[in-house]
Structure 1
Amino acid sequence: MLTILTLVSWLFRLMDVYSFILVIYALMSWIPSLYGTWIGQLIIKISRPYLSLFENLPLRIAGLDFTIWVAIIALQLIQRFIAIVLNGILF
């Protein structure tokens, strides 16, 4: 049981780090020259596969793109769902 909790704890940390990477990706749009740097390219390679899941949704309103925010909220909902399921199973 302790190993399961440890694995879930690491998974939650990775999900939090990934959410932070998505926020950095969103902030990079304010300074487009950052896309050309090596760290910018790394962030793009990490974040684009997940963000592509939300591209077909109508999330552009009045010139603003809410795709990243919806992706972050979805990631947090998945994290909460895992916590609820494990809480119901283990405790």
Structure 2
Amino acid sequence: MGSIIFEIGQYIYSIYYWIILISILGSWFPQFYSTKLGIWVRKLVDPYLNIFRRFIPPIGMLDLSPIVALIAYRYIGQFALEGLRQVIQMIGI
């Protein structure tokens, strides 16, 4: 059962990682955020990206905050998944 919980955590982590990546790539296409997919992606990702946009201002037309956010998500996610794995082992599920 513990491995199932861990795999679900990994799956959710991976899905959100790809949604962030889609958001970054979609920003290169002006009409992307006018589509249903773009609106949905923006609603899911903007709360997370706005944390970084407060501290990292754009450089001209280039917004580097999504890239920093993706890198941070990668490290924080790995740390959280490792913590989840250790908790599952400690509990003995």
Give the TM-score range, shorter chain: 0.7 to 0.9
Q: Is the 8 A contact 2:26 2:32 kept in 1?
A: yes
SS of equivalent to 1:10: helix
Q: TM-score, normalised by structure 1?
A: 0.78
Deviates more, 1:11-20 or 1:63-72: 63-72
TM-score, L = length of structure 2:
0.77
Instruction: Let me know the Cα RMSD of the aligned residues.
Output: 2.1
Map of 2:13 onto structure 1:
15
Kindly indicate which of the two structures has a greater share of residues assigned to strand.
1
Higher relative contact order (CA 8 A, sep 6+): 2
> How far did residue 13 of structure 1 move?
1.3
State how many pairs are aligned. 89
Unaligned runs of 5+ in 2: none
- Structure 1: 5+ residue runs without aligned partners? none
Q: Contact (CA 8 Å) 1:54, 1:67: kept in 2 or not?
A: yes
Per-residue CA distance 1:33-67 (angstroms, 9 max, x = gap): 11111111111111111111111112534642221
Give runs of ≥4 in structure 1 deviating > 2 Å: 58-64, 82-91
Aligned sequence identity (%): 28
